[in-house]
Amino acid sequence: MPRLPYKQLKRLPVQTKSGKTLGRVRDIVIETEGQLVAQYLVAPTALSSKTYLIGRDQIIAIQAAAIIVADSAVTENSRNPLQQKSDSMRPEAIAMREET
């Protein structure tokens, strides 16, 4: 199974299947139970102006030159674009109790 270091992943442009450039990977959201990437935060570049949160189910391919996403990723996210707030990427709070 091919692996891709985070440093290299952050440099990859993200494009739709039809060729529209959305931006570059800025950050990732990890699903802790399965230790899998749940979502990719895509920041705008000179060719785009919106920030996108792309779910792993919207990814068609991760190639050496770009990440390709379904065209529907733009349609779904453009109706409710991700707000760039500092708390938008905070993990969900988890209640823990101490064993006695």
Please give the average per-residue pLDDT across 22-40, as a whole number.
Answer: 92
User: How far is 37 from 56, CA to CA, in rounded Å?
Assistant: 7
**Domains of the chain with CATH codes:** 6-79 (2.30.30.240)
**69-87: per-residue pLDDT in tens?**
999 888 654 444 444 333 4
Strand, coil or helix: 96: coil
At residue 76, the pLDDT reads 53
**42-56: per-residue pLDDT in tens?**
998 886 678 899 999
Tokens of 2: 């091919």
C-alpha gyration radius of the chain: 15
pTM over 0.75: no
